[in-house]
Amino acid sequence: MRVAFAGLVKRYGEARVVDDITLAIEEGEFFTLLGPSGCGKTTLLRMVAGFTQPDAGDILFGERSILAVAPHRREIGMVFQSYALFPQMTVADNVAYGLRARKTPAAETRDRVAEVLRNVQLEELADRYPRQLSGGQQQRVALARAMVISPRVLLMDEPLSNLDARLRVSMREEIRRIQQERGITTLYVTHDQEEAMAVSDRIAILNAGTLQQVGRPKDIYFAPVNRFTAEFMGACNLLSARARGLDPGNGLLRVEVDGQALWLTPRALPGDGQLTLLLRPDWITLCTEPEPGGENRFPAVVRAATFLGASASYQMEALGQTLRVDGPGQGGLLQPGDQATLCFDPARPALLPA
C-alpha cells in the first residue's frame, strides 16, 4: 500500500508540531521518520494510525483519503514503544487478539497465529505469559500481534528503545527480515541514526516539525543538504572554507581553511565562494606515506585518545580547530601531545552552505 502525506499540518496551541509535510511512502517500502525528541515524527505516526487528526492537509492510502476512516478500519498494524501486551493473556492469546476482535473463525485464527509465531521464532513459547519473556521476546510478540491481521501498513514507534544495545542490533535485523519477507509497507519512527540506516529503504529527517531531507541512508549520510542533517546523521567535522578556483596544476578545486590550502574534486559552489566542508571522522586518515601529488596533508597535535577495541577515536588540533579522527585500534595508540599528519581524499568531503 502506497502512503502519502499532502500538506500535513498539526498545531498544539501556537506551535506547529507538523508543519506542511508532503511526501510519499511507496508500496512495500521500509520508510523511517528520524529526528530528535519533539520533532513531530510520532505525531505523524499517530495521524496515520487515526489517533490524532491533522489541522490541515490529507493522508492517502493509495488514491483514497483515510481521514474519515476510523482507526480500526484503516487496516494498519502498530507496534508501540511499550509493546502494550496484555499481562493476563498468553503469547498466543495476545497475538490472536486482533483476529478475535474482527470475529475471524477460530480455525483460521489458530492457523494464522501459528504461522506468525513461526515467523518470529516464538512457536515454542505460545503458552507463556508476558512476564515470563525477555524484552526481546516481548518485542517479537508485539510484532507478531501487529502482523497477524495482515495489515496493509505497519507502524512502529521506537520499538527497540527499551532493549539493551546488543539486543537492539539483533532485533532490528529480525524486523527487517520479516518486513522484507512479507512486503508490508512500513513506517518506522526512531531517534537513532544508526538504527535508521540499518533498516531503512529511505529516511526522512525531521526537525521542529519540518522536513529537512528525504533519501536513501547512504545518500543522506554522504551528501546531507544542511548542517542539521549532517550533524544528526553522525559525528562530523565542519570546516569554514573559501573557494579559490581551479588549480591548473592538478585540475582540482583549491580551497583555504584557516590559511591552509586544500584541494577538492570540482563541484558546484555557492556564488560568494564561502562554504562549509563536512568531513566525517573516518574520512580523515593518519598519513604515514605521501599521498599522490601531496594534496590534503596537514599537521595535527593529539589532544585526547580513546581506545574502542576495533577502532580508536582521537581529538586532534588541526586547521584552527579540534577535529575528531577515527582510526584503527590495532597497533600503537597515539598519546596526547603526539604530533601527526592528517590527510583526506579530495573526493571525500561534502559541501554545505556556509
* pLDDT tens, residue by residue, 26-37: 999 999 999 999
Q: How far apart are CA 233 and CA 34, in angstroms?
A: 9
293 conformational bin, left if phi > 0, alpha if psi -120 to 50, beta if neither: left
Q: If DSSP codes are grouped into helix, strand and coil, which group holds residue 94?
A: helix
Q: How many residues does the chain have?
A: 354
CA angle 144, 79, 219 (to 5 degrees): 110
The one-letter amino acid at 338: D
**What pLDDT, on the 0 to 100 scale, is given for residue 91?**
95
Q: If DSSP codes are grouped into helix, strand and coil, which group holds residue 25?
A: strand
Domain ranges of the chain: 3-231, 235-353
Q: In the 8-state DSSP scheme, what is residue 130?
A: G
Q: How far apart are CA 172 and CA 152, in angstroms?
A: 20
Q: In the 8-state DSSP scheme, what is residue 290?
A: P
Place of cell 563536512: 278
**What pLDDT, on the 0 to 100 scale, is given for residue 184?**
92
- Enumerate the β-bridge partners of residue 324: 315
Q: How far apart are CA 159 and CA 187, in angstroms?
A: 12
Assigned C-alpha cell, 354: 556556509
Q: How far apart are CA 345 and CA 131, in angstroms?
A: 53
Question: Cα-flanking dihedrals φ and ψ of residue 58, to 5°?
Answer: -145, 155
pTM of this prediction?
Answer: 0.88
Cα dihedral 139/144/149/154 (nearest 10)? 50
Whether 63 contacts 51, CB under 8 Å: no
Q: Which CATH architecture has domain 235-353?
A: Beta Barrel (2.40)
Pick the closest to residue 26 from 47, 5, 1 (CA basis).
1
Write the CATH number of the domain with boundaries 3-231.
3.40.50.300
**What pLDDT, on the 0 to 100 scale, is given for residue 250?**
84
Q: How far apart are CA 227 and CA 341, in angstroms?
A: 27
**What pLDDT, on the 0 to 100 scale, is given for residue 80?**
84
Strand positions, DSSP E, the chain: 3-12, 15-25, 30-34, 56-61, 64-65, 76-79, 153-157, 185-190, 202-207, 210-215, 237-246, 253-257, 260-264, 274-279, 285-286, 297-307, 311-318, 321-328, 339-343, 350-353
Q: How far apart are CA 46 and CA 56, in angstroms?
A: 15
Assigned C-alpha cell, 253: 578545486
- Enumerate the β-bridge partners of residue 206: 211
Which residue positions in the chain have pLDDT lower than 70? 270, 288-294
**What pLDDT, on the 0 to 100 scale, is given for residue 313?**
94
**What pLDDT, on the 0 to 100 scale, is given for residue 276?**
93
Pick the closest to residue 144 from 194, 98, 200 (CA basis).
98
**What pLDDT, on the 0 to 100 scale, is given for residue 150?**
86
CA angle 227, 228, 232 (to 5 degrees): 115
Q: In the 8-state DSSP scheme, what is residue 63?
A: T
Whether 199 contacts 175, CB under 8 Å: yes
